[in-house]
Amino acid sequence: MSGSDANLGRCGVPCSYAGGSGATIEDAVIVMIPAGITGSVADVVGVAAEYAWLEDRYGPRDQAWKFVMQRLLDGPEGRHYDCLTSELEDRTRRDIYFDISNFFMKD
């Protein structure tokens, strides 16, 4: 998914991704939103991009996977992460880590 556009149907704003698979905080998916989007709008766009990434990877929400919980984590060097826990069709749970430092709490 590195460098691909997010699903525009969720928020109408093209977002891109870098980094890793999201399996660990060290290998987090980096969510990048367009320059100039700040504040609460950036948070809405960024979270929509996280869910779009999950749908691109695992399929439609509430069909291929279900949302379980979301946690905000502080990481090294002042970075911020979202950890989304989902339950897949086979009932296994998976944590996916997103580096949200590019947009979280940016005014």
Strands of 16-19's sheet in order across: 16-19, 29-32, 93-99, 80-88, 65-74
Tens-place pLDDT, residues 46-97:
999 999 999 999 999 999 999 999 999 999 889 999 999 999 999 999 999 9
What pLDDT does 1 receive? 41
Instruction: Evaluate if residue 6 carries a pLDDT over 60.
Output: no
Tens-place pLDDT, residues 15-36:
889 999 999 999 999 999 888 8
